[in-house]
């Protein structure tokens, strides 16, 4: 499930990062449901897997987590998407194009930009004693703090969610099992698109374009991101999340600044090569593949509640 169209087919990190910075709350009733056949656009558009739809769904999840935690005697503050994005990027409602121009893939470039607005529950966690913190995490995630809603959206695997996070996700999406099945089917669709010989040739042209622009050979955009992640981990070895407040202690700040500049530069070259060589081809291939996908998965698609 992605909100970046063709770009998401080849690269999930930017999508996950953007999702991560809009883990949100908000008021308002659930929007009226629409059947897939009643709206136009791609399958992901129809299902609401757009920035707007994901934002709406995450609003429900955050509010339901807060209600669930309250029932168990804990405070949980639903995140404010506007405050979160402004805290991390300096601008609310930043477009994908603006984000990439300034932050690239969002791997190294958001590090150290966090503040209390980007994680409103950090104050609560830090105030708890050891046993109370354990009980808090048990209620929130089933005792596995790594299995967050952000992690599930990032990987597409919702099967390991627990606690109030699972309860809220089930309620908002119609069941995590359904989400996992849908994600697997959409991944299969993407695989079939990538295997199409027209896309194979388009990706080869992208590789040639990137070699010309950067002097390096990359198999795909994921290879670029892996390279940046590896370099970032050498500078900041502790596990980090997008927007995390900078760790205490010494790290090579000039090296991090250089990596951040490189990330933005190469991400924008990637995007330019993609627009030239991949997007026009994928627009055609995806339309054809999605038509067959709708016929083969009509029952599944009719079961999914559109997100927004």
Per-residue pLDDT of the chain (308 residues; tens, 9 = 90+): 333 333 444 433 333 333 333 332 222 333 333 333 334 478 877 777 766 677 677 778 889 999 999 999 999 998 766 667 777 788 877 777 888 889 999 899 988 776 555 567 878 888 898 899 999 999 999 998 878 876 777 677 788 899 999 999 888 777 777 877 888 898 899 999 999 999 999 999 999 999 999 999 999 999 999 999 999 999 988 756 555 555 556 788 899 999 999 999 999 999 999 999 999 999 999 999 999 999 999 988 888 777 65
The answer to whether 45 and 39 are in contact (CB under 8 A) is: yes
Residue tagged 């669709």 (tokens): 189
CB 158 within 8 A of CB 179: yes
Which pLDDT belongs to residue 89?
Answer: 83
pLDDT at position 14, please? 31
Residue-level pLDDT at 21: 36
Half-sphere exposure of 35 (CA within 13 A, CB side): 6
Query: In Å, what is the CA distance from 110 to each residue of 18, 68, 91, 245, 259?
Result: 11, 30, 13, 9, 12
What does the angle CA 151 – CA 120 – CA 178 come to, to the nearest 5 degrees? 30
The two three-digit tokens of residue 235, written as one number: 């500078």
Determine the pLDDT at residue 242.
54
d(CA 196, CA 151): 30
Six-digit token pair at 20? Answer: 């991560």
How far from 214 is each of 99, 113, 217, CA to CA, in Å? 21, 28, 8
End-to-end CA distance of the chain: 14
Rounded CA separation 1/16 (Å): 10
Cβ pair 111, 246 in contact under 8 A: yes
3 state SS of 88 = helix
pLDDT at 81: 65
Matching residue, tokens 């009980």: 135
230-to-105, 224, 234, 239 alpha-carbon distances in Å: 14, 10, 7, 12
Enter the pTM of the model: 0.70
CB atoms closer than 10 angstroms to residue 173: 18
Select from 72, 5, 6, 3 the least CA-distant residue to 278: 6
* Structure tokens that stand for 133 in this block: 């913190």
Instruction: Identify the pLDDT of residue 158.
Output: 80
- Say if residues 18 and 3 touch (Cβ distance below 8 Å): yes
| Residue 271: predicted pLDDT | 93
Length of the chain: 308
Q: Hey, CA dihedral for 81, 82, 87, 91, is it positive or negative?
A: positive
pLDDT at 20: 39
Residue 30 pLDDT: 33
Tokens 């593949």 correspond to what residue?
A: 289
Instruction: Round to whole Å and give the CA distance between 228 and 276.
Output: 23
Half-sphere exposure of 129 (CA within 13 A, CB side): 2
């Amino acid at each position: 499930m992605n909100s970046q169209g063709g770009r998401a087919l080849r690269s999930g990190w930017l999508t996950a990062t953007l999702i991560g910075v809009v883990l949100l709350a908000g008021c308002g009733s659930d929007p009226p449901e629409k059947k897939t056949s009643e709206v136009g656009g791609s399958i992901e558009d129809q299902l609401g897997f757009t920035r707007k739809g994901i934002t709406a769904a995450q609003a429900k999840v955050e509010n339901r987590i807060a209600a669930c935690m309250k029932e168990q005697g804990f405070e949980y503050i639903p995140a404010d998407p506007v405050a979160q994005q402004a805290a991390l990027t300096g601008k609310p409602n930043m477009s994908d194009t603006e984000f990439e121009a300034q932050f690239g893939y969002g791997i190294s470039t958001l590090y150290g930009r966090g503040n209390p607005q980007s994680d409103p529950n950090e104050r609560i966690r830090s105030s708890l004693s050891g046993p109370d913190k354990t009980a808090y995490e048990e209620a929130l995630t089933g005792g596995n703090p790594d299995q967050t809603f952000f992690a599930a959206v990032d990987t597409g695997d919702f099967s390991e969610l627990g606690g109030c996070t699972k309860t809220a996700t089930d309620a908002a999406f119609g069941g995590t099992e359904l989400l996992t099945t849908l994600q697997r089917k959409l991944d299969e669709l993407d695989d079939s698109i990538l295997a199409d010989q027209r896309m194979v040739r388009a990706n080869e042209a992208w590789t040639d374009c990137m070699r010309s622009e950067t002097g390096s050979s990359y198999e795909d955009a994921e290879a670029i991101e892996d390279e940046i992640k590896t370099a970032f981990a050498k500078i900041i070895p502790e596990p980090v999340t997008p927007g995390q407040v900078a760790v205490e202690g010494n790290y090579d700040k000039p090296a991090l600044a250089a990596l951040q500049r490189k990330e933005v530069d190469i991400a924008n070259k990637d995007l330019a090569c993609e627009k030239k060589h991949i997007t026009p081809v994928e627009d055609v291939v995806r339309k054809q593949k999605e038509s067959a996908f709708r016929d083969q998965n009509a029952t599944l698609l009719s079961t999914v509640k559109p997100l927004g």
